[in-house]
C-alpha cells in the first residue's frame, strides 16, 4: 500500500560494482571512451548510485512528503516543488504523487529545505560536487531528471508451482526492477 522502494538493482552497477567508480573518474577528467554510449552507461551507474543513496537517507516513510520535496505526479510524470506537505499528504496517501530523488544532470529541478540539504550531503559523501557544479565529460549530454522514490507493482500474483517453486508475476513501470521487489519480499526472512 505504501509502494516499493524504486531503487536501482545491483545489476545496474556492473561486475564488482565498478561502473560508478569508473564514472567518477570521468567526471574528474579521465579520458572519455570513443564509444559515447559506454560513457553514458557508466554515468548512468553513478546517477543510480546517487539516487539509491538519497533514497536510503530518506527519514520518512515512502508515502510521506516534506515541504521542499520535488514530487512526482504518477499519472503524467510531471514534477513540482512541494510547498505545503500537509496539503499534499492526501494525494501522497492515495499514491497520486510521490517524493523523488535525483538523476543528476544539467537540467534538474532541485529540492529545497531539508530534502535539498540531504541530497547535497549525499553528493558530498560520494565525493561529488553539488548538482550545479557537476560537468559532464566533453561531448556527453547529461540533462538529468527526477525519479519517484516509490512505485506500485500492478497485477501482482504469487502462486506455488511444482517442486516448491514459487511463481511471482507483476507489472512495474519502465526502469523499475522486479529483483528489488524480490529482495524486499525476502529481506525480512533471509536478511
pLDDT at 179 over 70: yes
* Global pTM value: 0.91
* Beta strand pairing call for 166-171 and 79-81: unpaired
Residues 112-137: tens digit of each pLDDT: 999 999 999 999 999 999 988 888 88
- Beta strand extents in 49-165 (DSSP E only): 70-73, 79-81, 97-103, 145-148, 150-151, 154-160
Q: What is the pLDDT of residue 150?
A: 97
Residue (of 137, 138, 131) closest to 116 by Cα position:
131
- 12-15 contacts at long range (C-beta below 8 A, 24 or more positions apart): 12/44, 12/45, 12/48, 13/45, 13/48, 13/49, 14/45
1 — pLDDT class (breaks 50, 70, 90): confident
Which residues are 104's β-sheet partners? none
Q: What is the pLDDT of residue 188?
A: 59
With a pLDDT cut of 90, the percent of the chain lying above it is 57
CA-based angle 35:37:40, to the nearest 5?
120
Q: What are phi and psi of 182, to 5 degrees?
A: -65, -45
Residues 2-22: tens digit of each pLDDT: 899 999 988 888 777 788 988
Q: What is the pLDDT of residue 2?
A: 87
Mean pLDDT of the chain, nearest integer:
91
Query: Alpha-carbon distance 102 to 109, whole Å?
Result: 9
Residues 14-68: tens digit of each pLDDT: 777 788 988 998 888 888 878 888 889 999 999 999 999 999 999 999 999 999 9
Amino acid at each position: 500500500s505504501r509502494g516499493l522502494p524504486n531503487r536501482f538493482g545491483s545489476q545496474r552497477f556492473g561486475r564488482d560494482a565498478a561502473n560508478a567508480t569508473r564514472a567518477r573518474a570521468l567526471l574528474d577528467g579521465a579520458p572519455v571512451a570513443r564509444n559515447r554510449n559506454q560513457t553514458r552507461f557508466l554515468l548512468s551507474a553513478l546517477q543510480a548510485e546517487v539516487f539509491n543513496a538519497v533514497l536510503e537517507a530518506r527519514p520518512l516513510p515512502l508515502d510521506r512528503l516534506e515541504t521542499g520535496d520535488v514530487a512526482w505526479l504518477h499519472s503524467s510524470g510531471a514534477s513540482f516543488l512541494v510547498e505545503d506537505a500537509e496539503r499534499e499528504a492526501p494525494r501522497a496517501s492515495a499514491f497520486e504523487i510521490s517524493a523523488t530523488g535525483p538523476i543528476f544532470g544539467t537540467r534538474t529541478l532541485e529540492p529545497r529545505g531539508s530534502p535539498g540539504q540531504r541530497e547535497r550531503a549525499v553528493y558530498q559523501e560520494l565525493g561529488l560536487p553539488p548538482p550545479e557544479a557537476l560537468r559532464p565529460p566533453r561531448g556527453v549530454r547529461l540533462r538529468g531528471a527526477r525519479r519517484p522514490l516509490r512505485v506500485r507493482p500492478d497485477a501482482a500474483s504469487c502462486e506455488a508451482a511444482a517442486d516448491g517453486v514459487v511463481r511471482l508475476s507483476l507489472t512495474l513501470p519502465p526502469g523499475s526492477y522486479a529483483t528489488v521487489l524480490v529482495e524486499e519480499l525476502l529481506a525480512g526472512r533471509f536478511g
